[in-house]
Amino acid sequence: MTASSETRAPAAPAAPPVPADPAERGGVRHGVGTDAPRPDGVLKVTGEFAYSSDLWADDMLWGATLRSPHPHARIRGIDLTEAVRLPGVYAVLTHEDVPGAKYYGLERADQPVLADGKVRYQGEPVAIVAADHPETARRAMMRIAVDYEVLEPVSDARRAAFDPACPPVHGPAAPPEPGGAARPANVVRYQPVRTGAFAAGAGLDEVRAQADVIVTGEYQVGMQDQAFLGPESGLAVPAADGGVDLYVATQWLHVDQSQLAPCLGLPPEKVRLNLAGVGGAFGAREDLSMQAHACLLALRTGRPVKMVYHREESFFGHVHRHPATMRYEHGARADGTLVFATMEIVLDGGAYASTTSAVVGVASSMAVGPYEVPNVRVDAYGVYTNNPPCGAMRGFGAVQACFGYESQMDRLAEALGMHPVELRIRNAMSEGSRTATGQPVDMPLPMADMLARARALPPPAEPETGPGTDPRRLPGGVAGTTRGEGVVRGVGYGVGIKNICYSESFDDYSTARVRLELVGGEPAVQVHTAAAEVGQGLVTVQQQVARTELGVERVVVRPADTAVGSSGSSSASRQSYMTGGAVKAACEAVREAVFRLARERGLPPGADDALELRGGAVVTRLGAVVAELAELLADTAVEETRVFRHRPTRPMDPLTGQGDAHVQFAMCVHRAVVDVDTELGLVRVVELAAVQDVGRALNPLQLAGQIHGGSAQGLGLALMEEVQVRDAAVRNPSFTDYLIPTILDMPPMRVEILEHPDPHAPYGLRGAGEPPTLSSTPAIIAAIRAATGRPLAHAPVRPEDIVGLPVP
Amino acid sequence: MRVSFEVNGRPVRADDVWAGESLLYVLRERLGLPGSKNACEQGECGSCTVYLDGETVCACLVAAGQAEGRSVRTVEGLADGEALDPVQSAFVDAGAVQCGFCTPGLLVQTHDLLRRTVGAGGQPPGDDEVREALAGNLCRCTGYEQILAAVRLAAERAGGAA
């Protein structure tokens, strides 16, 4: 392999020589590969950055949503009389007031804009109100009388998956697909994968006979909340043309538009979306929340309507990570070589489909992890229940599977008496391997090297215990719960693999418009896309790409809106690849147009035809200036729009799962070191180190931030984060009861970045946002297992699991 | 009711305030100062942290009427005109700003920590002290690593300037 490997860890060997000014690469400051500053950074530290909840308009009304207290109920009637009478109330709307399509959805239009005679989950929107003050709206909602006939909820996902007698959450089962078997009505998607002997029809016992050691495990992943800090919010402004302008925090403007327009009974061009400041996303803004409601109220009242969810409402207002129950079995030879793996994964999609089908695709295709296994049998199910709807969250089905296969690897290593890293390296995939879905890995995948690096990292300092120890260094922390008695240290490893970009033959593309012109006599670039900046730093990357491609430092990224073509979703770790790729393509077109202009003016004698744009000038390859842009563009602007697509992908075969379903694979390895108070069930993560291959680091500072943040969300899932659902009702919808990591919970995070370019991707980059969220959870739980000897089959690990008490 | 107080050094007045409104609501919706953020509105996340008479509080937990006659300083009042406070520039430079929703609260809390330490002629706070001081400010994007780096950088810059 000829790929270069660059390490950015603190203890790294010297980096390759860089120019004297680290911000300069290839003749332009703050281009690709530098720590270019965020263009929105200063606005965000002065408080001027306008988030979707900060918007305000003259004559604005406040919208509010009445939600069902019941997970499952029939609505016998709704009486609005008393609500409408309240002074200051301008509109109260129900299902009957939805002018167009009554249902919407990302994959299936199964979700009502407002409840249609039935509610299928706790918190489902039933009616909406517009009033002159949020408190007026709240009081009006209290006066809406809904007559519910409470029904028994379907709350057990396994029953929904396997029991034909389970009542259907929606209609009866769809007829089976050609060649497929009939499934219970609540199965949204069933996806099997079969390879080796299993594909040839061999039975499990036959395959088992080839293994010297077999380990089985049943694992659960709890329902995780994205817990972005900026609540669902936006401002809908009715327009003179009968349409509406919506300013909203979302991940994909155009998919919102395509769902909204039919519901509002308007053509898409009359539903114009503008991206307002987004306070984090992590998947939770893929589905609609307040968008349709605010637009309906604005169109009805003829006044701008602002809606802002409060935190409790937010827990009901967006989808969560699918909880999973997983049954795994792995067999290996005595030397550790994997012989077979079987897995059954049941993902609870809750009341509406959202992205459940795609989540099943990822979970099934990634179910075996980054390991070479000759015989694989996967059965993955995504089901309807009356639990909270689940959909996208960072890691998207791969997180759940990763906790399963990594737990199994540790169990197998223990059974074999091998070091867990050694077992993983023995079975590691690499460039040239095939995935369980038969797809060749045609890009670098230096997993063995990453594992070896993680293992070789220097260990953190020994645990401090005994009298006088600073409580902040002990499990339980500032609460001073322990003085260090019964504290045991453990070390664990985790590896995860994630597909990048949209898969399974989805037509995945991004559009960019780039304009080069003189502003105040200086060349300046404008980049316009519909891509959602959600905090990840995409606006910085767009600037960097334009600077590098056009040799112009001054680049402005225009606000994202639907006036330009779709950029697809800010999810699947895809935007650097896709919108980065689109901006690059548009810049290349602009560059060619500039060269044409230069050639029309006539090249100086002796100039060859290979021109470049550098330092605000058209230059020859040897650096001779052909024309200054300031001259060339004196009275003209060059503007080009390009659509970028990644290479096509294929569907998964419905019976065998085979198919080149994915664009790119990305991996992260974590080593976790924990101190566990084995008597009190408390954990302190001492260090969480990551090794990640990113192909090419476009912005190392922002990249490290993605790895840190993804690791932190994985730590949350390992130790504290679970939406508690009992009988389909949520028990902890607040930051008092749903805990996310604080700065006291987070350990120092060493990050080692490798750069083995993917030859198929723009600049060789590899999507980076999701992989750290996969591997940090199993690494931390493996470390707790190492410290305690407990099996720990549930993420998050609860104190009861550690001390061996029943979990209530 | 009418509420009058001082924000960022200038007197302000809000009329027709409903008694249940928080200081946060009045700042954001009545005074045109949306910099303080509304992430949880129950005192758990710290994103609405402001100074009230020189002490940091969650503005969502202060009833608007309690601010009567008092002095409030918000994130909008940290910079000196166009010149950013060292805490603000350090957050930008260290990569501590991603979505930025937690940032205003963290800036005010960090500003207070440095005011009490290096600003008072003391030593720069160690990491444990920083973690304890910022424990009430949730951030979902950064994992806090670059926030710690920003606080160290700000302490260095503020110490240098003192």
Query: Token pair 């959600």 is at which residue?
Result: A534
Residues 81-110 of B with CB under 8 A from A: 84, 88-89, 91-93, 95, 97-104, 107
| Tens digits of residue pLDDT in A382-421 | 999 999 999 999 999 999 999 999 999 999 999 999 999 9
DSSP state of A655: T
Same domain, B111 and B135: yes
Q: Number of helices and strands (H, E) in chain A? A: 19, 35
- Residue found under tokens 């207290």: A69
Side chain identity, residue A605:
P
Chain-chain contact of A704 with B35 (C-beta, under 8 angstroms)? no
Q: Are residues B114 and B141 in the same domain?
A: yes
pLDDT bucket at A269, cuts 50 / 70 / 90? very high
- Best probe of the A interface among B144, B151, B152, by most A CBs < 10 A, is B144
Question: Tokens 């060859």 belong to which residue?
Answer: A608
Task: Check A54 against B138: CB less than 8 A apart.
Answer: no
- Closest alpha carbon to A557 in A588, A583, A581: A583
Whether B64 and B90 map to the same domain: the answer is no
Chain A positions touching B91 (Cβ under 8 A) are 41, 45
Residues B70 and B117 in one domain: no
Higher pLDDT, A215 or A22: A215
Q: What is the CATH number of the domain that holds A638?
A: 3.30.365.10
Q: B38 touching A, CB under 8 A?
A: yes
The pLDDT-based confidence of A602 (bands split at 50, 70, 90) is: confident
Residue A701 covered by a domain: no
Beta carbons of B104 and A47 less than 8 Å apart: yes
- For residues A754 and A668, the answer to whether their CB atoms sit within 8 Å is no
Q: Which residue of B has its CA nearest to A738?
A: B44
Regarding whether B61 and B96 lie in a shared domain, the answer is no
Question: CA A573 to CA A707: how far, in whole Å?
Answer: 12
b/e burial code for range A785-799 (CB count within 10 A of at least 16 → b) = bbbbebebbbbbbbe
| CA A668 distance to own-chain centroid | 15
Statement: residue A454 has pLDDT above 90: yes
Domain end marker among B77, B94, B117: B77
Determine the straight-line distance between the first and last CA of chain A, rounded to whole angstroms.
53
CA torsion angle A198 A204 A207 A212 (round to 10): 140
Q: Are residues A24 and A524 in contact, defined by beta-carbon separation less than 8 angstroms? A: no
Same domain for B49 and B93, yes or no, is: no
Cβ pair B34:A746 closer than 8 A: no
Cα–Cα distance for residue pair A292/A99, rounded to 1 Å: 11
Across-strand partners of A643? A511
Contacts of A743 in chain B (CB under 8 A): 130-131, 134-135, 137, 139, 144, 147-148
Query: A365 — contact with chain B (CB < 8 Å)?
Result: no
Judge whether A134 lies within some domain: yes
State whether B146 and A42 contact (CB < 8 Å): no
Residue A11's pLDDT band, with cuts at 50, 70 and 90, is very low
pLDDT of res. A184: 87
pLDDT, position A181: 66
Single out the residue in B13, B48, B77 at which a domain terminates. B77
Q: B55 and B107 share a domain?
A: no
pLDDT band at A491 (very low <50, low <70, confident <90, very high): very high
Return the closest-CA partner of residue A555 out of A569, A570, A566, A539. A539
- Burial (0-12, 13-18, 19+ Cβ within 10 Å), A297: buried
State whether B98 and B153 are in the same domain: yes
Axis-axis angle for helices A538-550, A575-601 (nearest 10): 30
Is A546 part of a structural domain of the chain? yes
Q: Partners of A754 in the beta sheet?
A: A693
Q: Could you say which of A310, A704, A709 has the minimum Cβ distance to residue B41?
A: A310
pLDDT confidence of residue A7: 39
| pLDDT at A182 exceeding the cut of 90 | no
Q: How far is CA B6 from the centre of its chain?
A: 16
Q: Which domain holds residue B72?
A: 3-77
Instruction: Report chain B residues whose CB lies below 8 A from the CB of A60.
Output: none
How many beta-carbon pairs under 8 angstroms link A with B? 188
Tell me, yes or no, whether B109 and B155 share the same domain: yes
Q: Is A461 on the interface with B (CB under 8 A)?
A: no
Give A494's contacts (C-beta < 8 A, 6+ positions apart).
A402, A406, A669, A670, A672, A774, A775, A776, A777, A778, A779, A780, A782
Residue A3 pLDDT exceeds 80: no
How far B98 CA lies from chain A's nearest CA (Å)?
4
More confident residue, A346 or A472: A346
Q: How far apart are CA A602 and CA A599, in angstroms?
A: 5
| Residue pLDDT, tens place only, B45-84 | 999 999 999 999 999 999 999 999 999 999 999 999 999 9
User: Quick one: CA dihedral A705, A710, A713, A718, positive or negative?
Assistant: negative
Mean pLDDT for chain A overall? 94
In order of A285, A490, B6, B20, the CA distances from A225 in angstroms are 12, 27, 38, 29
- Give me the pLDDT at residue A478, please: 82
Is the distance from CB of A621 to CB of A582 less than 8 angstroms?
no
pLDDT confidence of A178, banded at 50, 70, 90?
low
pLDDT at position A374 is 98
pLDDT at A482 over 80: yes
CB contact, 8 Å: A479 with chain B? no
Give the largest Cα separation in chain B, rounded: 47
Q: A773 in a domain, yes or no?
A: no
Domain CATH code at residue A273: 3.90.1170.50
Instruction: Give the domain-ending residue among A611, A630, A645.
Output: A645
Q: How confident is the model at residue A604 (pLDDT cuts 50, 70, 90)?
A: confident
- Contact between A279 and B100 (Cβ < 8 Å): yes
Tell me what percent of the residues of chain A surpass a pLDDT of 70.
96
- pLDDT of res. A732: 98
Q: How confident is the model at residue A666 (pLDDT cuts 50, 70, 90)?
A: very high
B contact residues 51-70, partner A, Cβ 8 Å cutoff: none
Counting the structural domains of chain A, the total is 2
Q: What pLDDT score was predicted for residue A1?
A: 34
Contacts of B139 in chain A (CB under 8 A): 229, 743
CB A429 within 8 Å of CB A495? no
Residues B91 and B147 in one domain: yes
Boundary-marking domain end, from A606, A629, A645: A645
DSSP letter for A385, please: -
Q: Give the residue from A310, A161, A306, A166 showing the smallest Cα distance to A229.
A: A310
Nearest CB to B76; choose among A47, A51, A230 = A47
A172 pLDDT tier (thresholds 50, 70, 90): confident
Whether A518 maps to a domain, the answer reads yes
Q: Closest by alpha carbon to A656, among A434, A372, A436, A341?
A: A436
Structure token digits, residue A7: 């390490």
pLDDT recorded at residue A16: 44
pLDDT for res B158: 87
Q: Domain holding B93: CATH number?
A: 1.10.150.120
Inter-residue contact A714 to A773 (CB < 8 Å): yes
Give pLDDT, residue A587.
98
Given an 8 Å threshold on Cβ–Cβ distance, is B141 in contact with A280?
A: yes
Q: Which helix (H) or strand (E) holds B106?
A: helix B103-116
List CB contacts (< 8 A) between A283 and chain B: none
- A111 lies in some domain: yes
Q: Give A18 to chain B, closest Cα distance, Å.
A: 20
Tell whether A774 is covered by a domain.
no
pLDDT above 70 (res A8): no
Residues B66 and B97 in one domain: no
**Coil, strand or helix: which one is B112?**
helix
Strand, coil or helix: what is A588? Answer: helix
CB contact under 8 A, B89 and A227: no
Half-sphere exposure of A298 (CA within 13 A, CB side): 28
Domain termination residue (choose one: A613, A629, A645): A645
A700-728 residue pLDDT tens: 999 999 999 999 999 999 999 999 999 99
Chain A residues 690-709 with a CB less than 8 Å from chain B = 701-702, 704-705, 708-709
Kindly tell me if the per-residue pLDDT of A107 is higher than 50: yes
Cβ separation of A535 and B75 shorter than 8 Å? no
- For residue A118, the distance in angstroms to the closest alpha carbon of chain B comes to 30
User: CA dihedral in degrees (A383, A385, A110, A651; nearest 10)?
Assistant: -10
Contact B36, B50 (CB under 8 A): yes
Q: Is A254 contained in some domain?
A: yes
B39 touching A (Cβ < 8 Å): yes
Beta strands A729-730 and B55-58: pairing type? unpaired
Average pLDDT over residues A582-586: 98
Name the residue among A38, A473, A740 with its Cβ closest to that of B97: A38
- pLDDT, average across residues A657-683: 97
Q: What average pLDDT does range B140-148 have in this prediction?
A: 98
Among A56, A478, A535, beta carbon nearest to B99: A535
Q: Are residues B57 and B14 in the same domain?
A: yes
The tally of domains found in chain B comes to: 2
Q: What is the pLDDT of residue B161?
A: 47
End-to-end CA distance of chain B: 43
Give me A266's structure tokens: 């308007």
Q: What is the ipTM of this complex?
A: 0.98
Cβ-contact A254, A28 below 8 angstroms: no
Residue A463: predicted pLDDT: 84
- HEC per residue, A107-157: CCCCEECCCCCEECCCCCEEEEEEECCHHHHHHHHHCCEEEEEECCCCCCH
What's the rounded mean pLDDT across residues A228-235?
Answer: 98
Range of the domain at A134: 61-151+232-308
| Residue A179 reports pLDDT greater than 70 | no
Q: How confident is the model at residue B160 (pLDDT cuts 50, 70, 90)?
A: low
Q: What is the pLDDT of residues B121-131, one digit of tens each?
A: 999 999 999 99
Q: How far apart are CA A358 and CA A367, in angstroms?
A: 14
